[in-house]
Homo-oligomer: A and B are copies of this chain.
């Protein structure tokens, strides 16, 4: 990655439905547009707490929540992503976020991220379940036990906390969010605007 070339930072949270939409299309969109992007895992929980919310806004505001599931059905269909409304929402994405944080430079991590989202939002799998995570990691040819252990190190936990702090400082209040040159774009539907902004600056 050329540090002098501006890139798009994709801030995502595993429990977030709309992050799934962006995760599922960001690689192809960015390649088509000829721009670079980076995955930035963070946690929405502390960000929501800062705003006085103890749960997902889609649970706190059920009418909005009902709409969101309908919208997800339509959007996943449009983007060609598998979808099934999970029985429980939100799922706890902490372990998956820690794994992603610890192994962000690994060639298998992007597939890991996408598979986690698919397990969660098309196969009703509890993504905080160690067996589900191990199965996935093993299927990617990785040593699940070692990865889970390393991802729970104090150093790595702190790294994810720092990411979340950085998100808050950047003004991020939801996911997905895109940052280009410190400029914030929120929501899957702003990905194209963020790319346009990056190309102009």
Contact = CB atoms under 8 A, between A and B. Distances in A.
A103 interface: no
Contact of A173 (B64, B171, B185): B64
Interface string A170-201: 01011000000000111101100100010000
**Copies of this protein chain in the complex:** 2
A108 interface: no
Q: How large is the interface on A (under 10, 10 to 19, 20 to 34, 35 or more residues)?
A: 20 to 34
A28 to B, nearest CB: 19
12 contacts: A51-B61, A63-B171, A63-B173, A64-B173, A66-B171, A67-B173, A67-B184, A71-B185, A71-B186, A74-B193, A187-B189, A189-B189
Nearest to A188: B189
